[in-house]
Amino acid sequence: MRLGVLDIGSNTVHLLIVDAHPGAAPLPAWKSKISLRLAEHVRPDGRIDERAIDELVAFAREARQRAEDLGVTEFLAFATSAIREAPNSREVIAAVRDRAGLDVEVLSGDEEARLTFLAVRRWCGWSAGRILVLDIGGGSLELASGADEEPDVAISLPIGAGRLTREWLTGDPPSEDAVREARRVTRAALGSVIGRLLRAGEPRICVATSKTFRQLARIAGAVPSSEGFYVRRSLSREDLRTWVTTLSSMTVAERTRLPGVSESRAAQLLAGAIVAESAMDLLDISSLEIGPWALREGVILRRLDGLKS
């Protein structure tokens, strides 16, 4: 079957079309995206503004038309923290349904963590043993640990790279005090849940997903995405610690000149590095494997699993 997936994230809205069937890896057939930055289109009362809703509806309408043109037989749309936390989330979802003809599922933070874990488990296979998964989004950090397809622990924390940047790292470059406070807030949030992950058991492999981790690995020397899915990529705590210091003194314009860093993500890169380093420190992770599958693939695999029953 040919599946279409619309991923409405805090930073970017992605369309992914795959050819898939139960028991096989989904094969990408088409993808496109817009950098909508929903979390930056929030009014003082917390509501997502009309301009962002209009842009989201327009892209959703285009995505549905593209999916129909490419022979998609089923379309899945889901949203994460930016819409989940907005007081007018129902209004946004209704606008996409009524004006673009798509029903959107709003995932909880724990569901994000569990579905990302499922994708990583399928990619790594059973030989990986217990896996610890980390995923940094725009609004939240997801963590999950387990030895089966369902994690024993799944956690979502409101310390995403976009949120941390907006709330603490507003200077260009930010002040030393701002960086210190962002680091303190991040570690305090992690410290409140770290025991749950440690009690779950020591992982055999630690895997990071998301654009933020891929960009951090790239500036630390990992091969570019153009080399394909199957090339091993990793990120060491030692390299990351060096880059946190370096990024703290760089302007956004200077970060955009780093290898693999997109203009739309450059402002959030320092925050992502702070979150990543904090998690690796508190969980005592010396190195992370960078996984190519994440939440979108987890949503697809969950749907395929449903076809078996």
Sort strands 141-146 and 131-136 into parallel, antiparallel or unpaired: antiparallel
- pLDDT score for 42: 85
- pLDDT score for 38: 86
| Domain ranges across the chain | 2-106, 123-295
Q: Which fold has domain 123-295?
A: Nucleotidyltransferase; domain 5 (3.30.420)
- pLDDT score for 253: 97
Sign of CA dihedral 265, 244, 170, 141: positive
DSSP characters for 219-266? HTTPPPGGG-TTS--EEEHHHHHHHHHHHHT--HHHHTTSTT--TTTG
- pLDDT score for 225: 87
At residue 80, the 3 state secondary structure works out as coil
Distance separating alpha carbons of residues 22 and 163, to the nearest angstrom = 37
Using an 8 Å Cβ cutoff, are 56 and 92 in contact? yes
Using an 8 Å Cβ cutoff, are 292 and 71 in contact? no
- pLDDT score for 158: 96
Distance separating alpha carbons of residues 288 and 239, to the nearest angstrom = 11
Distance separating alpha carbons of residues 242 and 14, to the nearest angstrom = 32
Distance separating alpha carbons of residues 98 and 58, to the nearest angstrom = 12
Tell me the average confidence (pLDDT) per consecutive run of 10 residues in the chain, 309 residues long: 95 94 91 89 90 96 96 96 94 98 97 98 96 96 97 97 95 97 98 96 96 96 90 97 98 96 93 98 98 96 85
CATH 3.30.420.40, domain 2-106, yes or no: yes
Q: Where is 123: in which H helix or E strand?
A: helix 109-124
- pLDDT score for 309: 58
- pLDDT score for 37: 85
Radius of gyration for the alpha carbons in the chain, expressed in angstroms and rounded: 19
Cβ atoms < 10 Å from Cβ of 230: 6
Distance separating alpha carbons of residues 94 and 104, to the nearest angstrom = 9
- pLDDT score for 157: 98
CA distances from 108 to 14, 176, 238 (A): 18, 34, 33
